[in-house]
Structure 1
Amino acid sequence: MDTLVYNSHWGLLDSLVENQELSTPFQTCASSSPLSSLIPQPSEKATAYLLDKEGDRENKERNEVVSLRYRSSILLLTFMAYTCYHLSRKSISVVKNVLNQNCSFQMPDGLNSSDIHWCDWAPFSNGYVAERVNLRYFLTFGMIMSGIFSYLFGLAYSLSIHSIWYFVIIQILAGIVQTTGWPGVVSVVGKWFGKEKRGLIFGIWNSHTSIGNILGSVIAGEFVETNWGVSFIAPGAIIAFGGFIIFLFLVENPSNVHCDLPTSGEDKGVIEFSLCLFFAKLVSYTFLYWLPLYIRSSTTLGPALSGDLSTLFDVGGIVGGIAAGVVSDYTGMYATTCSVMLTFAAPMLFVYEKFGTYNFSVNIILLLIAGLLVNGPYALITTAVSAELGTHHSLQGNSKALATVTAIIDGTGSIGAAVGPLLAGVISSRGWENVFYMLIISDIIALMVNILQTSQSELIWHSL
């Protein structure tokens, strides 16, 4: 039995513990104090709740880290994929001068300029297919087949093939498989990234178009005067290898790895943006296919150097795409951002045509500015706007919608990408200044469509 003894000399309460059941004075006081029953003690449920909350916080942080890693890999893989698509497209614009000289025929301007867009229905049909298949397989197939057809085109040099129909058939088939690229990569990226900072992310990501054009021009230019077949075979090997990488590592959907889905957008205007892209892509792809030839014919530069100089248009396009994305993120106004850039693009085309050949330095500066203003709206519409429209709240629950919207917008733009170079091939025979007038008119029409889209958005906003 415990005995409590009060030591009056020291004024202390001593505890004489005979059975050693209480090991500390705190336990003794707590058990003996009349106030101990009033002090709240942690229950088992409260402790379990706190532990669960702490576990949820740790799991959330862990999931965010995992999601960040997957999103980074998605950006890198899709960036690589579409860079390869554009890299393999660029060869024909660099090689066509030498190709016409070495063959017994003149390649038709329509095929020569818009090789991969002969089948304008392909983007629409491929968007429909992309909704219903695994996008990893879809992109892998498109990239490997693009590599095969690029190889077959270059093989004509070694086998001394001079049949026009051989080139026509190869380019038509290449055009069909090339259009698998855009619905595929935008659908994958749109599934992984929400609305926040989408313009900036897509602006940087969309530089793959310009980088692919630059690399394609450089690679094709290296062999154009010695062995033009390699100008097609080398890009074909690169894109086929890229398809193998996509097959191994691409994760198409966040739900496949238990990651959270991104938030949806609130924008509308598929028709207006599709029409705008028709004319914006018309201008961009006319430069893509005809700029090396224009530089060659208007200056004293050779084919290789003309191709290298034309890459500066794409360098400006990289800056333009990023700038458009940043501005649209800050303002939230995609149509207005496009309109401002298109407003300055039209007069800049006129300035380049009049003064671009004045000297080499002026040509460089004007090409950079023209690329910034022409490719900025094009990049914004094909990436951030397509993803915003495809993840509109009215389409929630339909994960296939993004590929459809992307295919509609890009498919309409692809028609413009075919019409522009085709018209340029016909009009250039009457003078290059007429080609530039056609491009200026196209920019003005795109601007008018964007102004209409902006006005409708303001009316909707004020009615809310």
Structure 2
Amino acid sequence: MKLETYQKWQIFIFAISYLCIAGRHSCLEGWFMVKSDVNDDLNFSGTWLGAMDSTYLFCYAIGNYISGVLGDLFPIHIVVPSGMILGSLCYFIIVFLGYANYGNPYIFVILFGMIGFSLSTVWPCTVSLMGHWFSRKNTGKILGLWSSNSQVGNILGAQMATIILSLLNSSWEIVIIVTTIFLLSIGVIFFFTVKERPDSKWLQNQQVLLDEEKDNSSQEQPSLSFIQAWMLPRVAVYALTYACVKLLNYSMLMWLPFILDKHINVNKNLIGAMANLYDIGGLVGGFIFGWITDRLGYRAPTICSMLLGALPIFGIIQLMTPSTWWMFFFITFLLGCLVSASDNLISGAVAIDLGRGESSIGKDENAVAKVTGIIDGTGALGAASGQIFIGYLSDIDWSFLFAFMLLVNICAVSLLVKYAITDTRRLKKERKNSS
């Protein structure tokens, strides 16, 4: 493959896979932004809203484990859009129920479970796709930038919701329709355009000029089983750490707009801005800290430091009152830089490193989708396990939610600190030997 052709395909793969995740998150953020409106129209309690979120995440988690296997067995250009189309159909059913004023919470819980299962195909398969097209050298920086897809999707969803609800004074159903059409369109484009590997049949007669394409031995290796992927070095610990980090991240995404509206009485336009600041922080932090991990050659010390930095911020939130609502402008941005960016690094760069076997003795790119599914699936399980509890806490006192998040943050640091110390010692030893 000629260098120019390869680079053009890299840009396209980066863009289309980026938009897939952005589309999924724009739909989610659109729902999070209209929660209070749904609560007013259909009289769902905080506990029921938490049950919907929890069911979505539980099914998303189970789906990630399955999708990781499917991504290794079947063409990615079929697996990903199939899930996106089915998820879009479920969103359209929610819109229909909204217009019909049919507020049966059990039906909504089932639909969100189906959405979670359907859209679980997107992340592990697109991360695997990125692993096929980009080498290890700049994984942290590239994946740090690429993983901002979730933040950009959240920003798009929040802005769509703000414009539709506040400026156009339309209903919450219109928000779901607009974001779902965006998701569906990207899925269709993905199906007709994506090439899974640079050495696929369509390109096999081209001249190979890049080093990362020279070694095709990984394609000849037998695919690891699901259990073997769990046994790869550090996979289990990072999966458990990500369970805590994803719980923190999704709690901010799912409940921050609701709390600001119902308990802090912030204007809806400002709520959208605050939600965007969290996502912008994740985008900025993901790129900067991803670049740092590339420079260091190790991920754990940086990620652990980021999570340590978030601890005092969750403590400060406990002191917040409605009169100090303006402080959320700073707090949400900082938490985005630390928590959301940690989420990006673990689910992106770390997952690819572990899936390739680069934390041990060799490479096995066949495991990338499985390991990504394991890490993201376990993260979703962690996030799901806390959502009903968080919904219950929000009905009692919103400050309890952030106290709970502080405890979860401590657990994440405790899990990762061993590897952070080990890698820091290795880094010091390497620098000492090189000097």
Match of 2:229 in 1: none
| Residue 146 of structure 1, CA deviation | 1.8
Match of 1:4 in 2: none
Superposition pairs of residues 181-330 of structure 1, within 5 angstroms: 181-224=122-165, 226-256=170-200, 257-258=203-204, 261=212, 268-303=233-268, 305-330=270-295
- Deviates further, 338-347 or 366-375: 366-375
Question: Is the contact made by 2:54 and 2:383 (CA closer than 8 Å) also made in structure 1?
Answer: yes
Contact preservation (8 Å) 1:143, 1:243: yes
Please state whether the residue corresponding to 1:372 is helix, strand or coil.
helix
Q: 1:63 matched to which residue of 2?
A: 2
Cα deviation per residue 1:316-371 (whole Å; 9 max; x = unaligned)?
A: 11111111101101111200000111111111122244247554543212221121
Of 377, 380, 389, the residue aligned with 1:411 is 377
1:457 Cα shift? Answer: 4.4
Residues 111-168 of structure 1: CA deviation (Å, up to 9, x unaligned): 3433521313121111111111100111111122222111111122223322223212
Contact 2:97 2:103 in 1 (8 A): yes
Length, aligned pairs only: 402
Separation in 2, partners of 1:164, 1:362: 35
Alignment of 1:53-202 (within 5 A): 63-106=2-45, 108-114=48-54, 116-119=56-59, 120-202=61-143
Q: Any gaps of 5 or more consecutive residues in structure 1? A: 1-61
- CA RMSD for the aligned pairs? 2.6
Please state if 1:331 is matched with 2:270. no
Distance 1:187 1:440, change over 3 A: same
- Flag the 1:67–1:357 CA change in 2: closer, same or farther, 3 A: farther
Q: Kindly provide the amino acid, as one letter, of the partner of residue 118 in structure 1.
A: F
Instruction: Report the AA paired with residue 238 of structure 1.
Output: F
Q: Which AA in structure 2 matches 1:80?
A: L
Distance in 1 between residues matched to 2:335 and 2:276, nearest whole Å: 12
Identity fraction in percent: 25
In structure 2, give the amino acid aligned to 1:408.
I
Q: 1:442 aligns with which of 404, 408, 424?
A: 408
Quote the Cα distance in structure 2 between the aligned partners of 1:392 and 1:359: 48
Letter in 2 for 1:207: S
Unaligned runs of 5+ in 2: 219-231
Counterpart code for 2:20: A
Inter-partner Cα distance in structure 1 for 2:321 and 2:283: 20
The residue correspondences of 1:33-48 to structure 2 (distance < 5 A) are: none
Per-residue CA deviations over 1:44-84 (Å, capped at 9, x if unaligned) read xxxxxxxxxxxxxxxxxx72222111111111111111100
Q: Could you tell me whether the CA contact under 8 Å between 1:356 and 1:363 is conserved in 2? A: no
Deviation digits for residues 203-242 of structure 1, max 9, x if unmatched?
A: 1111111111111122223334631111211111111110
- CA distance change for structure 1 residues 356 and 177 in 2, over 3 Å: closer, same or farther? farther
1:392 paired residue number = 357
Asked if the contact 2:52/2:108 (under 8 Å) is kept, the reply is no
Q: CA deviation at 1:303?
A: 4.0
C-alpha contact 1:272 1:453 (8 A) present in aligned 2: no
- Scaled by the length of structure 1, what TM-score is found? 0.80
Does the aligned pair in 2 maintain the 1:151–1:236 contact within 8 Å? Answer: yes
Shift of 1:428: 2.1
User: Retained in 1: the 8 A contact 2:64–2:120?
Assistant: yes
Matched, 1:349 2:314: yes
Q: Note closer, same or farther for the CA distance 1:340–1:399 as it changes in structure 2 (3 Å cut).
A: closer
TM-score by length of 2: 0.86
Deviates more, 1:110-119 or 1:242-251: 110-119
Question: What SS does the aligned partner of 2:172 have?
Answer: coil
Letter of the 2:172 partner, please give it: W
C-alpha separation between the residues in 2 aligned to 1:64 and 1:364? 45
Amino acid of the structure 1 residue aligned with 2:354: L
Q: Are the structure 2 counterparts of residues 200 and 398 from structure 1 closer, same or farther at C-alpha, using a change threshold of 3 Å?
A: closer
Code of the residue aligned with 2:195 in structure 1: it is V
SS in 2 for 1:299: coil
Structure 1 residue 400, shift from structure 2 partner: 2.8
Q: Which amino acid aligns with 2:186?
A: G
Which residue does the alignment assign to 1:420?
386
Between the aligned partners of 2:365 and 2:337, the Cα distance in structure 1 is 33
Judged with a 3 Å threshold, the aligned counterparts in structure 2 of structure 1 residues 222 and 116 are, in CA distance, closer, same or farther, namely: farther
SS at match of 2:191: helix
Task: State whether residues 50 and 390 of structure 2, in contact with CA within 8 Å, keep that contact through their aligned partners in structure 1.
Answer: no
Is the partner of 2:266 in helix, strand or coil? coil
**Contact 2:36-2:261 at 8 Å conserved across structures:** no
State whether residues 349 and 436 of structure 1, in contact with CA within 8 Å, keep that contact through their aligned partners in structure 2: yes
